[in-house]
Amino acid sequence: MPHFSYQAGVLHAESKSLSNIAEQFGTPTYVYSKAALLENFDSYANACAGRDALVCYAMKANSNLAILDILARRGAGFDIVSGGELLRVIAAGGDPAKVIFSGVGKTVAEMRLALAHDILCFNVESIPELHRLNEVAGAMGKTARVSLRVNPNVDAKTHPYIATGLKASKFGVAFDDALATYRTAAGLPHLTVAGIDCHIGSQLLDDAPLLEALDKLIELIDALAREGIVLHHLDIGGGLGINYGEAGEAEPVPVADYLGRLFKRIDAWRAECYAGAPIKVIFEPGRSIVGDIGVLLTNIEFLKPGQEKNFCVVDAAMNDLMRPALYQAWMDVQPVVARAGEAHTYDVVGPVCESGDWLARERALVVAPGDLLAIMSAGAYGLTMSSNYNTRGRAAEVMVDGDCVHLIRQRENPADLFALESIIK
């Protein structure tokens, strides 16, 4: 995390001390680096320079309006999976004409909303969805642009909860059924077949599975062209991972290297089969844009020794950061102020009433009660997956820009949590 570093023994985000941020905003708090966000997005944008390509940020990773606004002004499109996410894009000043709508269970209301705002394309995942979208578009006097999310049955070799490209997945249309499904789509009067999409999984450190999926999409595009169904865009999805700092963890493939290999394959195919005819290429990165732009800042409440384990009890919990409990994910933990002394091994746990409430296990730390810890690389799937379990308000979020700090989401308080509830009289 190049924009988070120790300066005079204190961990900083860009030029701001995390100790000072904790004093000003309290804990737990998510702290993001604007410089890191722009650097990560630009790694995609620069690799696409001069090409007909669109980077659609997968906003489920982190949907704070400030982040969406920064990316929109940088030229990003957005990959959404709900009507609420579309409304966030609009509130942040994003362009609906650069929005791709994914997801297996789009409701009628969500389809109407997206059609009313004339989004770029629906990534359709089943024949029933095709028919529903056709009916909704027809009732509105509109035509919906669609691509099919094709499941290429490629093993992403990632955690089973975030592997989405195998036959057993709920996502997408099976590769063997895709040709027939495209024929159905092409025959529906209120749909326009625009492209093809796939997304095989998340936290991929090797691009070989993505390139394998690309080859299968190319095979299908060629078969469709022979039937007169010409596609105008190719959406290869997202999924590139980040390094979370676990010992022995592989480094992720650099974005420029992955896109270079992908574009080389596409260029060779188009030159051979289509005399260079253009096709727009769309990407849906999420974690690789926001994962390492942020940390979760938390305070140590108690150090609790035990017969079998020692516990470092902090004020952040599984409701603030679900990845460890949900995926058994490794998150690096760093003290904000480096201490000298003998390290002890702790499980870093929160106050939630669940044995699954842990953020890190068996970490060697030199710490004391009242110290601050930073849970590193927490910019993706942190606040967006958080909850109010145990009537805990969700954390604050701040954005660091050089030596300036901006509060981009206020901390929730208990009254916020039950404001929508009513007592029966």
Q: What backbone phi and psi angles, to 5 degrees, belong to 276?
A: 80, 10
Is 161 labelled as part of a ligand binding site? no
Q: Which residue has the tokens 């007169």?
A: 228
For residue 261, give the 3-state DSSP assignment: helix
Is 239 labelled as part of a ligand binding site? yes
Is 258 labelled as part of a ligand binding site? no
For residue 86, give the 3-state DSSP assignment: helix
Instruction: Indicate which residue of 56, 121, 273, 353 is catalytic.
Output: 353
* 353: annotated active-site residue: yes
Is 276 labelled as part of a ligand binding site? no
Cβ atoms 66, 406 nearer than 8 A: yes
Distances in Å between the Cα of 184 and the Cα atoms of 126, 179, 226, 242, 417 are 11, 9, 16, 39, 46
Is 23 labelled as part of a ligand binding site? no
| Side-chain half-sphere CA neighbours of 88 within 13 A | 22
- DSSP secondary structure, 178-225, as one string: HHHHHHHHHT-TTEEEEEEE---BS-BS-SHHHHHHHHHHHHHHHHHH
Cis peptide before 324 (omega within 30 of 0): no
- Residue 49 tokens read as 């320079």
Q: Tell me which residue of 100, 80, 76, 98 sits closest to 88, measured CA to CA.
A: 80
Give the amino acid at 194.
A
Is 381 labelled as part of a ligand binding site? yes
- Residue 358 tokens read as 């842990």
Is 265 labelled as part of a ligand binding site? no
- Helix pair angle (255-273, 208-226), 10° resolution: 20
- Residues at the annotated binding site for pyridoxal 5'-phosphate? 239, 284-287, 381
- Residues at the annotated binding site? 239, 284-287, 323, 327, 354, 381
Cite the active site residues. 353
- Residues at the annotated binding site for substrate? 287, 323, 327, 354, 381
